[in-house]
Amino acid sequence: MALHPDFVSLAPFVRSLPRLFAEDKGKVIHKGRNELRVLSHEGRNYVVKSFRRPNWVNRFVYGFFRPSKAKRSFDNALLLQSIGVGTPQPVAYYNVRSWGGLCFEKSYFVTLCSEGVHRYEELFTTRFDYADEVLRAIGSLTAVLHEHRLAHKDYGRANILFRRTSEGKIELELVDLNRMYHGELDLQKGCRNFERLPATPHMHRLMAEAYAEARGFDAEECFRLMQAFRSTQPGKIDDKW
Query: pLDDT for 32-83, tens place per residue?
Result: 889 999 999 999 999 999 997 755 455 555 555 678 899 999 999 999 999 9
What is the SS3 string spanning 159-217?
A: CEEEEECCCCCEEEEECCCCCEEECCCCHHHHHHCCCCCCCCHHHHHHHHHHHHHHHCC
Q: What is the homologous superfamily of the domain 11-112 according to CATH?
A: Phosphorylase Kinase; domain 1 (3.30.200.20)
Q: Is 222 exposed, middle or buried (0-12, 13-18, 19+ CB in 10 A)?
A: buried
Q: How buried is residue 8: exposed, middle or buried, by Cβ count under 10 Å (0-12/13-18/19+)?
A: exposed
Q: What is the percentage of the chain residues whose pLDDT exceeds 70?
A: 90
The beta strands (E) that lie in the chain are given as 2-3, 27-31, 35-41, 44-51, 90-98, 103-112, 118-119, 150-152, 160-164, 170-174, 180-182
The pLDDT value given to residue 76: 98
**Per-residue model confidence (pLDDT) at position 60:** 55
**What are the residue boundaries of the structural domains of the chain, listed by start?**
11-112, 118-235
Domain 118-235 has CATH 3.30.70.100: no
Q: What tens-digit pLDDT sequence spans the chain (241 residues)?
A: 999 999 999 999 999 999 999 999 999 999 988 999 999 999 999 999 999 775 545 555 555 567 889 999 999 999 999 999 999 999 999 998 876 555 677 999 999 999 889 999 999 999 999 999 999 999 999 999 999 999 999 999 999 999 999 999 999 999 999 999 999 999 999 999 999 999 999 999 999 999 999 999 999 999 999 999 999 887 665 654 4
Mean of per-residue pLDDT scores for the chain: 92
Q: Which residues contact 128 (CB under 8 A, 6 or more apart)?
A: 118, 122, 134
Alpha-carbon distance values, 211 to 129, 146, 149, 186, 223 (Å): 21, 10, 15, 12, 10
